[in-house]
Amino acid sequence: ARKALTALAAIIVVFFCAVTRQRVRAWHETETLFIDTLRKDPANIFAAKTLGRYYSVIISTPQRAVPYIEKSVQLTEERIGGVTMPSLVRFERHNLAELRNTLGIVSRESGQYEKAIALHESAIAEMSNTEPDGSRTADYYFQMGLAYDKMGDLRKKAGDEPGYVAALEQALSCY
């Protein structure tokens, strides 16, 4: 009975190792696929956005995510210029607001607080034109509040008491 239990445990361990290895290879191949896609088609918004999300969420390296999300913002802005149908323009503006908010989050995680605040402000302005109920706008304000909070911490460490208080007041107004 003991040998059977040991054999079963060994089989389970081997199975989980194989599955883990397969998942790591799949993510690596996905990264390679989207990088290759961007090399061949630099205007592919989906590939740029997916790589930005991959680096920010899956790999947790916001510094590597920033250029890809910036590229997807730029490509979306260019796409809006060529769209004439009002519902499609509204849809693309919504996407642009989402991308700017995501870039703001990644910028905040990279320590670029002022850039993050500016991006959240532009996402809020964009969203107010596309979504009348404002449900996403509340999240953008919250994210901007987090950026002000982090900026306040930075100013407190630097000994800038007025800057610290001002940043916290801004954070509170966003929350």
Residue 55: count other Cβ atoms within 10 Å of its Cβ: 21
φ, ψ at 70 (rounded to 5°):
-60, -40
Q: In this predicted structure, what is the pLDDT of residue 89?
A: 84
Q: In this predicted structure, what is the pLDDT of residue 27?
A: 60
Q: What is the pLDDT along the chain (175 residues), one digit of tens a residue?
A: 788 888 888 888 888 877 777 666 656 677 787 888 888 888 888 888 888 888 887 767 788 888 888 998 998 888 888 888 888 888 888 888 888 998 999 899 888 899 999 999 999 888 876 666 667 888 899 999 999 999 999 999 999 999 989 998 999 898 8
The predicted model scores a pTM of 0.71
CA distances, 35 to each of 44, 47, 102, 172 (Å):
11, 8, 20, 40
CA distance 109 to 166: 21
